Amino acid sequence: MKNNNVFQIDFDTVEKEVRAYEKEQSLALNIEPKVSNQWIDKNPREFNKSQRETTTVLFGGLTLMQDVFIQAACEGLGYKFKALDCPDNDAMQIGKEFGNRGQCNPTYFTVGNLLKYLMYLRDQQGLSTQTIIEKYIFTTAGACGPCRFGLYVTEYRKALRDAGFEGFRILLFESKGGINQGGEKLGLDFNRRFFKAMFNAIILGDVVNLLGYRMRPYEVNKGQVDKVLLECRQLIVNRLLANKTVIPALHESKRLLDVVPLARLQVKPKVSVIGEFWAMTTEGDGNYHLQKFLEKEGAEVDIQPVTNWTLYMIWSVGYDISQQLKLGLKWQQKLKLRKKLVLLKLAELVMTIWFKRYANAIGLNDYHLADMQSLAADSHEYYPNELRGGEGHMEVGKLIQAVKYKKSHLVLSVKPFGCMPSSGVSDGVQALVTGKYPQAAFLAIETSGDGAVNVYSRIQMALFKAREKAQQDMDGVTGKYSLEVVKQKIGNKQIVSSWYPKHRCALTAANLIYSLNE
């Protein structure tokens, strides 16, 4: 039809004509017309308080230490929680068998890990499929953004269905959904009490892990630090199970760790591990046991605490609000937003004090959580702070600050195969950063579950240069200060093993010489 020289289409009429033509052709070709129904993704989530005592909540995905602490903390709240083992290559193969093609690597590992455990219950423990569906559930985090992480829960359900566990329940809590995400009748309440227990366990895992990575490379008796850390872990778990303060357990842990003999005058390059969250956090086949490999090669590993991610989430919300305040809003709207900003600042302060309190109790001295505002300012030139997904601008900022403040001799960016945000940053944006900071030692590695030999070879070549940088730090300090003073103070046991020298350069041995001479 034509009206005022503008063509207007009557879509209802066109649709009827198309359907009539389709029916006519179907009859001519003797084809039975099919009735298509809209596909609906069934999402069974029924879990109420009456089922709590008989239902086991499965979870996993952080470090081994944090998973153990989360299990104990939630059991202290009255839940039956079970941490899954660290995903291995068997889990990855199961994930590839039942998952979609083209997923990012962490999905294969995490989805496959759940299926692996359910198959173990069915095939080795003899539980029926129906019993597993009724007596077990799985909980995980969800999010949105330019990343397939938001589709994980659908991938879980697809794989569960194809593996014969259709109807298995997946409980999802949104990372941006606020504190209260539960109702009174839910078997698992995502409320303040629950999240307090979760954050408590995460921060505890961070301080214990960080202290372990500081001490383990310099232990005199191989394996002693890990042995003592297991004792410390059990002390903390006992307090969490009893729903009591963990401070006494941290003090006792410090006493146990302080007597572990260390030799910190060794020249060991410090390697910062950054990149995609899961790939840099996991401690198994998912990143080729990267942390253990680096320590075996004689490096000190600088890990990224999970608490930094929490601070980043708080900062992101605050940044978005600050941008909204620049718009032409009414004063009532601005007042409401400013109140939110105050609450976010308070949350950031609470998290920082919380971490510091636990760090001081166990002896993790001179450790500073990432300054989110500083990271944002340093990275903004290369990666806009408005972009989200993956680690956002943090990966760029961490590399810049590692160079500016001499935090490490080598920065490793770990990205899983198929991770779009991390690949774009480590392969693209970081090239601009290293162009401006040519002194930066940076290596991006990709994990796919079956490329360990190639990754190890590339890391070993990068470590050669990192060792040279570490030796330069040592030569610089020994030309100014005496090693005899340091050896005498160490011999007189004037310092304890958990103590860590104040940061002046990347090399721990050099920092020790600086500190004890001054």
* DSSP per residue, 240-266: HHTT--SHHHHHHHHHHHTTS-B-TTS
219 closest CA partner among 306, 295, 307:
295
pLDDT for residue 146 is more than 70: no
pLDDT tens track for 439-458? 999 999 999 878 899 999 99
* Token pair recorded at residue 140: 């995980």
Instruction: Give, in order, the Cα–Cα distances in Å from 38 to each of 41, 44, 100, 258, 299.
Output: 10, 18, 21, 64, 56
144 within a domain of the structure (yes/no): yes
pLDDT for residue 2 is more than 50: no
14 within a domain of the structure (yes/no): no
506 within a domain of the structure (yes/no): no
- pTM, two decimals, is 0.88
pLDDT at 110: 93
182 pLDDT band, cuts 50/70/90, is very low
175 pLDDT band, cuts 50/70/90, is low
Residue 90: what residue type?
D
How far, in Å, CA of 212 to CA of 254, rounded? Answer: 11
Domain carrying residue 181: 49-185
122 within a domain of the structure (yes/no): yes
Please state the domain count of the chain.
1
Instruction: Give, in order, the Cα–Cα distances in Å from 145 to each of 38, 150, 368.
Output: 26, 7, 29
Task: Give a three-class secondary structure readout of 199-237.
Answer: HHHHHHHHHHHHHHHHHHHHECCCCHHHHHHHHHHHHHH
157 within a domain of the structure (yes/no): yes
pLDDT for residue 262 is more than 60: yes
How far, in Å, CA of 182 to CA of 169, rounded? Answer: 16
151 within a domain of the structure (yes/no): yes
pLDDT tens track for 34-90? 666 766 667 777 888 888 889 999 999 899 999 999 999 999 999 999 999 999 999
* Token pair recorded at residue 407: 């935090």
264 within a domain of the structure (yes/no): no
pLDDT at 25: 84
How much is the average pLDDT of 469-476?
A: 96
286 within a domain of the structure (yes/no): no
pLDDT for residue 480 is more than 70: yes
pLDDT at 9: 67
Three-state secondary structure call for residue 173? strand
Length of the chain: 518
For 14, other C-beta atoms within 10 Å of its C-beta total 10
pLDDT at 27: 83
Domain of residue 164, CATH code: 3.40.50
H-run or E-run covering 411: strand 410-416
pLDDT at 424: 75
Across the chain, mean pLDDT equals 89
Three-state secondary structure call for residue 456? helix
